[in-house]
Amino acid sequence: MSLQIYINGTFYDKENAKISVYDHGLLYGDGIFEGMRSYSGKVFRLSEHMDRLYESARAICLQIPISKEQMEADVIETLRRNNLSDAYIRLVVTRGAGSLGLDPNRTSNPQVIIIADHIALYPAEYYETGLKIITASTIRNHPAALSPRVKSLNYLNNIMAKIEGQQAGCVEALMLNHKGEVAECTGDNIFIIKREQLLTPPKDAGILEGITRNAVLGLARSLGIPAQEITLTRHDLLVADECFLTGSAAEVIPVISIDGRPIGDGKVGPITKKLMTEFKALVHR
């Protein structure tokens, strides 16, 4: 059976799932998205993802044509139609088809697209041995240009940094902001552990406020691990005891090296291991 793709209330075989080439999501990256995970048939933090999606839409003056409640139901139905229990869900809302020009008033019929499939963002062994990452020269988009809290379809900034990482033989890259402070990686939020404290950049560092990031902060506090959202520099990462990344697709994944320099003893640290274990338990509750 072919994968079933949801577009505006109708399900299509993967091969027949199409939108207009005049859609401004394609022409200009004019749209928003969410990436979610389901575990044992339950979408992790679904309501939080919906809140972020609709806030992103409001921030860019995009009217989503269905309610949050209907969207949640459609996400769950997409999983059911594809007989998926543990899956990755990509939800996309575009501005809709229009003319060859930037004017959003010339678009109509925003497209709501839901894809449910399997994903393996990183090889399984990386969760055991850890990632090696580099610092990209491409900086995070200036927050005064477009708020990083809008999860827009235009990811070229992240993609260029990703290319730098790949050219250096790494699967991920660290991005600094316009002040030279640590922001996030190309697709994940970043954490360090120093003297048994968990530290991560604050929202005003130019990051996307990750759903998994917030879940890990909550987990740490429930475990009695001091956790702070605090400005970090590359120096702080280089002298950290441990480091890891978080994201809906990546979950919690350790980092053992930055720019060829080991983090701590160059192995996955005990607090990182603890949070990885606790996160796996959390998503199945």
Q: Are 253 and 244 in contact (CB under 8 A)?
A: yes
Q: Are 279 and 251 in contact (CB under 8 A)?
A: yes
Question: Looking at the chain, which runs of residues are DSSP E strands?
Answer: 4-7, 10-13, 31-39, 42-43, 87-94, 112-117, 131-135, 173-176, 182-185, 189-194, 197-200, 227-229, 242-247, 251-258, 261-262
The candidate with the shortest Cα–Cα distance to 193, out of 265, 133, 247, 138, is 265
Catalytic residue among 151, 162, 203, 273: 151
Distance of CA 60 to the CA centre of its chain: 19
Residue 107 tokens read as: 């678009």
φ and ψ at residue 121, rounded to 5 degrees = -65, -40
- What whole-number distance in Å separates Cα of residue 260 and Cα of residue 186? 18
Q: What one-letter code names the amino acid at 41?
A: G
- What whole-number distance in Å separates Cα of residue 194 and Cα of residue 257? 15
Is position 151 annotated as part of the catalytic site? Answer: yes
Residue 153 tokens read as: 């379809």
CB-CB neighbours of 1 under 10 Å: 7
Please list, in sequence order, all residues whose beta carbon lies within 8 angstroms of the beta carbon of residue 235, skipping any fewer than 6 positions away: none
Active site residues: 151
